Amino acid sequence: MRYRSLPSLLVCAAAAASAGVVVTAVHAAAYLSVAQAQSELFPRAGEFRPIVPALEAKQLQQLAERAGGPARMGAWRVWQARRGNEVLGHVVTDAVLGKFELIDYAVALDPTGKILGVEILAYRESHGYEVRNKPWRSQFTGKTAASPLRSGDDIAIISGATLSCTHLADGIRRIAVMAQLALSGR
């Protein structure tokens, strides 16, 4: 079936090109669903309870000052990872802009706000997908809101993925600060 549709695709592309329409390739990859990321990040968890972190006005101001930008409270989805009555930590999902397209990712935090891991859920850019590589993502493990979490500082930049690295580091820093303010009770 796939082979029969290839000639149709080529005819459409040729027609578009002859009409002066620019045809671009789409590069997008969905790597994990949220449920798969949760299981990867907290394999011992028996359940993931959705929660809504609440920050007061003063905390929102602190978040903006400490994280280098305004809060993205409406964009974050947060789950509490539990095993029975034990709280193992939290999983926060977010999306940041790479160069032109959004990068969906998940961050796992322990109950004190320390980063346990980062997973890339979907990457839509044509370049820079190396941010999905484990060595790059592992740089965040063990960091907290007190860590700089800045590309070129304590987070390495990948050639060809400068904006993806920078924007992911910025988003993860905001999540770490939010976790310290709203989730860990500090």
Q: Report the Cα–Cα distance between both ends of the chain, in Å, rounded.
A: 58
Place of tokens 């961050």: 107
- Average pLDDT on 135-161 reads 93
For 118, the 3-state DSSP assignment is strand
Q: What is the pLDDT of residues 36-64, one digit of tens each?
A: 999 999 999 999 999 988 888 888 888 88
Q: In this structure, is residue 18 part of a structural domain?
A: no
CA angle at residue 125 from 122 to 126, to 5 degrees?
A: 130
Q: Is there a contact between 172 and 149 (Cβ–Cβ < 8 Å)? A: yes
Q: In this structure, is residue 3 part of a structural domain?
A: no
The phi and psi torsions of 91 (rounded to 5 degrees) equal: -120, 130
- Average pLDDT on 148-156 reads 90
Q: In this structure, is residue 133 part of a structural domain?
A: yes
Q: What is the pLDDT of residues 67-113, one digit of tens each?
A: 777 776 667 899 999 999 999 999 999 999 999 999 999 999 999 99
Cα separation values, 89 from 47, 63, 180, Å: 11, 20, 12
Q: What is the C-alpha to C-alpha distance for residues 95 and 104, in angstroms, rounded to an integer?
A: 4
pLDDT band at 20 (very low <50, low <70, confident <90, very high): low
Q: Is there a contact between 100 and 121 (Cβ–Cβ < 8 Å)? A: no
Q: What is the pLDDT of residues 106-141, one digit of tens each?
A: 999 999 999 999 999 999 988 888 999 999 999 999
Amino acid letter for position 130? E
- Tally the domains of the chain: 1
Q: In this structure, is residue 60 part of a structural domain?
A: yes
Q: In this structure, is residue 10 part of a structural domain?
A: no
- Domain ranges, residue 63: 27-183
pTM of the model: 0.82
Q: In this structure, is residue 13 part of a structural domain?
A: no
CA-nearest of 94, 90, 91, 117 to 105 is: 94
Q: In this structure, is residue 16 part of a structural domain?
A: no
Contacts of 165 (CB under 8 A, 6+ apart): 128, 131, 136, 151, 155, 156, 157, 158
Q: In this structure, is residue 20 part of a structural domain?
A: no
